[in-house]
Amino acid sequence: MSVNVVYAILVTSLATFLSRFLGAVSSQGIKETSKIFKWFNCLAYATLAALIARTIIFPVGVLNEAGYLIRLVVVILSLAVFFVSKRNYVYPTIFSAVCMAVLASFF
């Protein structure tokens, strides 16, 4: 491996673990019912929703080969699995990967 790759892995790992450590330390004084906690929670969900929407609407790589209709069908079916499985994240994640592979290979 190149030395630059090793440096990049070390720096990004340090940044990740440092931010997690500081978050754990600073979270001791924040109540889960506080407005700031709710705001950060909404911010996290909004960021995740934006990333998912960007991935579906403007895909990159292999996902770009699947049509919009296939991606939309997979999202709708995965949401149905999510609610049927009592809001479990594992089942729709696995289902979406399998469903995308099957639909993309046949259509």
Task: Work out how many domains the chain is built from and give that number.
Answer: 3
Q: First vs last Cα of the chain: how many Å apart?
A: 40
H runs (alpha helix) in the chain: 3-26, 35-57, 68-84, 90-106
Q: What is the residue range of 5's domain?
A: 1-29
- The answer on 45 and 9 residing in a single domain is no
- Distance CA(25)–CA(37), nearest Å, equals 15
Residues 48 and 79 in one domain: no
Together in a domain, 82 and 104 = yes
Q: Is the pTM of this model over 0.75?
A: no
34 has pLDDT over 60: yes
Same domain, 80 and 48: no
- pLDDT confidence band for 37 (50 / 70 / 90): confident
